[in-house]
Amino acid sequence: MARKTQIFRALFLVAGVIAASVAGVVWLGKEWGKETPKHFRDLGIACHEEGDYKGAVGNYTKAIELAPDRPDIYGSRAAAHHRKGELDKARADVKACRKLGGQIDPDFLADLKKASGRKK
């Protein structure tokens, strides 16, 4: 009976260590930037550079959900929408970027206007 008690205690201890380790990894992951706007913006940039504009938009959107006051992320998402041919969404992000005090590259604005057939 004493042997069974020792085995039970050892298993209980191992389970506790595993649970604490998992909790620590989850906590550390969040602390190390896994759920920050910068993390998702960086993922968006990586997707954009690889030509994965759908992935870029998704990651920029997550970044915006976490930091809706960052004009630079709206500008980045506008560029990804433009590459996907979603010109109305690109214009909406340009507007949001400007409303927050951000600036948009004039060459990008010219390309967006040309693609959408607008003069203004």
How confident is the model over 92-116, as a mean pLDDT?
93
Are 28 and 52 members of one domain? no
Give the residue with greater pLDDT, 30 vs 2. 2
pLDDT band at 53 (very low <50, low <70, confident <90, very high): very high
Are 21 and 41 members of one domain? no
**pLDDT for residue 35:** 81
Are 72 and 44 members of one domain? yes
Are 49 and 108 members of one domain? yes
Asked if residue 31 has pLDDT above 60, the reply is no
Range of the domain at 13: 1-32
Are 81 and 48 members of one domain? yes
**pLDDT for residue 9:** 67
* CATH number, domain with residue 112: 1.25.40.10
Are 68 and 112 members of one domain? yes
How confident is the model over 64-69, as a mean pLDDT?
96
**pLDDT for residue 116:** 81
**pLDDT for residue 16:** 56
How far is residue 77's CA from residue 83's CA, in Å, rounded to a whole number?
10
Cα dist from 51 to 30, 44, 79, 83, 102, whole Å: 28, 11, 12, 9, 24
Is the alpha carbon torsion for 102, 42, 76, 70 positive or negative? negative
How far is residue 36's CA from residue 29's CA, in Å, rounded to a whole number?
10
